[in-house]
Amino acid sequence: MICPYCNYKESKVTDKRTSPDGIRRRRECLKCKKRFTTYERIERTDLYVIKKDGRREKFDIKKLEAGIEKALEKRPIPQDKINKMISAIDEQIRKAGKKEVKSSVIGELVMKKLKKLDDVAYVRFASVYRQFQDINDFKQEVNEL
Ligand SMILES: [Zn+2]
């Protein structure tokens, strides 16, 4: 990314935020050290989630975010860590450039990320996600803590 101040070609990313229609990056020029912002638009119109019963639904990160926030309720995890994780999930889901994604793929990805972040939140999310289909699974998750 070319620096708008000195035209130097290299910069480092100091902050990254995903909004509903793009990724905003704060960059710092490696030469003059000035900071600037770049914006990358993400195509968000045509990604669909295929649910277990075969229904299609437009992918909505806000819904996923609500579920994750719920799982993390009252957990001592800083908001910026949560935001970063949600951004990473969103990015990873869209990265493949597919038009459809199975809800199970998203669920597994969220659980993987949550497990790294917070065990309690992970179990909460996993229990809702799997809808207690198998109570033994849930017990096992709890026992592993
Ligand atoms: Zn520069």
Q: 7-66: per-residue pLDDT in tens?
A: 999 999 999 988 767 788 999 999 999 999 998 876 556 789 988 888 998 888 888 888
Query: Stretch 106-123: mean pLDDT, rounded?
Result: 91
Indicate the number of domains in the chain: 2
> Quick one: 38 and 64 in the same domain?
no
Q: Work out the average pLDDT over 120-131.
A: 82
**And the tokens for 8?**
């130097």
For ligand 1, a single-atom ion, which residues have Cβ within 5 Å? 3, 5-6, 8, 29, 31-32
pLDDT of residue 143: 62
pLDDT at 34 (0 to 100)? 96
- Asked if residue 74 and residue 37 are part of one domain, the reply reads no
72 and 118 co-located in one domain: yes
User: Would you state the pLDDT for residue 93?
Assistant: 87
Task: Give me ligand 1 centre to Cα 11, in Å.
Answer: 8
Nearest to 140 by CA among 121, 128, 131, 127: 127
Handedness of CA 71, 77, 79, 81 (dihedral sign): negative
> pTM of this prediction?
0.60
pLDDT one-digit tens code per residue, 64-105? 888 888 899 999 999 889 989 998 998 888 877 788 988 888
- Whole-number Å distance, alpha carbon 132 to ligand 1 midpoint, is 54
Same domain, 54 and 34: no
The whole-angstrom separation of Cα 91 and Cα 18 is 8
Distance 38 CA to ligand 1 centre (A): 14
User: 15 is written with which tokens?
Assistant: 């902050």
Q: Domain check: are 38 and 49 in the same one?
A: no
Same domain, 30 and 52: no
- If asked whether residues 15 and 52 sit together in one domain, one would say no
Query: Greater confidence, 51 or 145?
Result: 51
Do 37 and 93 belong to one domain?
no
Q: What is the mean pLDDT of residues 114-128?
A: 89
Taking the CB of residue 2, how many other CB atoms lie within 10 A of it? 13
Domain that residue 34 falls in: 1-42
Residue 135 sits in the same domain as residue 75 = yes
- pLDDT value for 31: 96
88 shares its domain with 18:
no
Are 31 and 57 within one domain? no
Q: How many CB atoms lie within 10 A of CB 76?
A: 7
| Residues 55, 100: Cα–Cα separation, whole Å | 11
Residues 129 and 85 in one domain: yes
